[in-house]
Amino acid sequence: MNELSASTRVTSRMSESPLFLGLDSSTQGLKAAAVDESCRVVAEFGVNFDADLPEYRTRGGVQRGPDGLTVTSPPVMWAAALDVLFDRMQASGFVFDRVAAVSGAGQQHGSVYWRRDARALLQGMSAEKRLRETLRDAFAVAASPVWMDSSTTAQCRAREAALGGPQAVADVTGSRAFERFTGNQIAKLAGQNPSAYAATERIALVSSFMASLLIGDYAPIDVSDGSGMNLLDIRARRWDPRALDVTAPGLAGRLGEPVASHTVVGNLHTRYAVRYGFPKNCVVVAFSGDNPCSLAGMRLKQPGDLAVSMGTSDTLFGALSEPHPSAKEGHIFVNPVEPAGFMAMICFKNGSLTREAVRQSVGAQDWKAFGALVGRTPPGNGGRLGFYMREPEITPPLFKTGIWRFAADARPQSAFTPEIEARALLEGQFLSMRLHGGRVGLMPSGILATGGASADPAVLRVLSDVLGAPVFTGNQVNSAALGAAYRALHGWRSRKARRCLPFADVVASAPSFTRVVEPDPAAHALYTALLPHYAALEAKLAAG
């Protein structure tokens, strides 16, 4: 994902209608998008942690431990960034007094440990003092573990052993035990630093932490972001007692009760009315994770709506009506905009950087030349398949890097011609998406393509044919911040209606996406026939 550097953009579309503000506290920065009641983006802003808050000595927004596994960020930096962002918005002339509701996204799996009596500090925030001053002593743990942390393998194995194995954990919580998931980070803290855990009054996710800064109180965790903790029963929408018990003592009270994602969790604290001019009746809708908010921003409303984000890594995600958790691939979360629904997400580490490396290796000077190479070979590539692993892969778990090529009869090949190599790369990546997405229930009826590679016609053609669905593109601002703004509007309208309104109806006036590719039925049939061959070869590689 490309991070927004310190930036400001305000359009000329501001009328007198209410505005809805979405914040995205991501790994590298804090971003904002404001929309009006017609879902038009009227302003965007950004703060970069490294550039704008250099005193915290982060690189890429994080601090790395000497063990190479521990990765953290100081939560006081995230608080400081909120003031920097609002100061920047104020200097640009942003009309805070028209903001009716705020919601937000937070990088998933990060956790914050409020110390005892921190609630009084939040409630007593003043307009005269900056957040970094008010809250500098508010944390039982000064460095929050974030999603890049991989130091909890022992806790993951202990969780799976106690709860009946990886699939049993996935069946309840939506995912097998992952090192970055918050429950395993809490278990590590409670086991290795019991005094810090004892001093912790409330545990927040990055999302609920940012909401807490706005309402001046402990904000609840929403059920969608709460799905990324290995603690929530995704069907019951509440903490699973056994998962809590194997994590740490007294955990339920430290987490609080989770809430539906459209819940208004409070009014904005008076600090923001005095300091920035927000209206006193501005409400805060529960913050959620960045991936759930991206689903909202891309308006993936119903089962079959999928998004493929093609960046440094590739991500496939979409809406589900019924969950199909797997201990081998992907994650199932509660859907943030459909209270009875779910969403699935699968990450593939070898994305655009791998495509770039192969493009260079086949001598294509640019992506137009690469597309011409792909066009010289027929769909299905004569049964030839390739696996291109520049980085250790997440899906499937393949930790040895390299390139593996196979003829139609499954015999290994040392090399392909440039045109066969180019097509094999794209077909392999999208066959993997189809295989693993299908296993967690993602069956596409339409695909929204985003990220740098979504501008390439050859890439989109192969994507559409392999997955068998039309491909759409659109001019997206940051999808997590935009999704948070849409969710602010949705929560505000739902509160006025005293019921959860259909999200699709609330965002019906948002700009439409452009249909750019239709699948070729004959090509899709070829890929359907090729899929078992691909799956068998992948399984052999994954098994070593």
Q: What single DSSP character describes residue 12?
A: S
Cα(88)–Cα(450) distance, integer angstroms: 28
- Selected from 3.30.1330.20, 3.30.1360.120, 3.30.420.40, 3.40.50.2300, the CATH number assigned to the domain covering 352-442+453-472+517-542 reads 3.30.420.40
pLDDT above 60 (res 361): yes
Question: pLDDT at position 25, please?
Answer: 97
Please tell me whether the overall predicted TM-score, pTM, comes out greater than 0.85 for this model.
yes
The pLDDT tens digits for 280-303 are 999 999 999 999 999 999 999 789
Question: pLDDT at position 1, please?
Answer: 29
Structure tokens at 219: 């904000």
- Per-residue b or e along 124-152, where b marks 16 or more CB atoms closer than 10 Å to that residue's CB: ebeeeebbbebbeebbbbebbbbbbbbbb
Count CA atoms closer than 13 A to 263's CA, side-chain side: 18
The pLDDT tens digits for 144-187 are 999 989 999 999 999 999 999 999 999 999 999 999 999 999 99
Question: pLDDT at position 6, please?
Answer: 42
208 contact partners, CB below 8 Å, separation of at least 6: 106, 218, 219, 220, 221, 222, 225, 286, 287
Q: Determine whether domain 7-142+203-231+257-293 maps to CATH 3.30.420.40.
A: yes
pLDDT band at 397 (very low <50, low <70, confident <90, very high): confident
Average pLDDT value for residue range 244-263: 98
Average pLDDT value for residue range 526-536: 98
Mean pLDDT of the chain: 94
Cα(82)–Cα(216) distance, integer angstroms: 14
E strands of 189-261, at which residues?
Answer: 200-205, 232-233, 238-239
- Angle ∠(79,80,86) on CA atoms, nearest 5: 95
523 Rama sector, left if φ>0, alpha if ψ -120 to 50, beta otherwise? alpha
SS3 340: coil
Structure tokens at 454: 């979504």
Helix, strand, coil percent values for the chain (each to nearest 5): 40, 20, 40
What is the CB neighbour count within 10 angstroms for residue 260?
A: 17
Dmax over Cα atoms in the chain, in whole Å? Answer: 73
pLDDT above 80 (res 7): no
The pLDDT tens digits for 86-137 are 999 999 999 999 999 999 999 999 999 999 999 999 999 999 999 999 999 9
Average pLDDT value for residue range 494-508: 96
pLDDT above 90 (res 3): no
Cα(359)–Cα(353) distance, integer angstroms: 10
Pair 24, 480: CB distance under 8 Å: yes
Question: pLDDT at position 12, please?
Answer: 45
Separation in Å, CA 283 to CA 330, 457, 500: 34, 43, 16
pLDDT above 70 (res 476): no
- The full set of domain ranges for the chain reads 7-142+203-231+257-293, 352-442+453-472+517-542
Question: pLDDT at position 2, please?
Answer: 32
The pLDDT tens digits for 17-66 are 899 999 999 999 999 999 999 999 999 999 999 999 999 999 999 999 99
352-442+453-472+517-542 and 7-142+203-231+257-293 share a CATH fold: yes
pLDDT above 90 (res 488): yes
Pair 393, 384: CB distance under 8 Å: no
Average pLDDT value for residue range 502-510: 96
Give me the residues paired with residue 64 across strands.
71
Question: pLDDT at position 452, please?
Answer: 79
What is the CB neighbour count within 10 angstroms for residue 278?
A: 24
Amino acid at 37: E
Task: Please tell me the least confidently modeled range out of 120-134, 306-320, 359-373.
Answer: 306-320
Task: Please tell me the least confidently modeled range out of 160-174, 303-317, 418-432.
Answer: 303-317
pLDDT band at 11 (very low <50, low <70, confident <90, very high): low
Average pLDDT value for residue range 393-414: 93
Q: In the chain, what percentage of residues exceed pLDDT 90?
A: 88
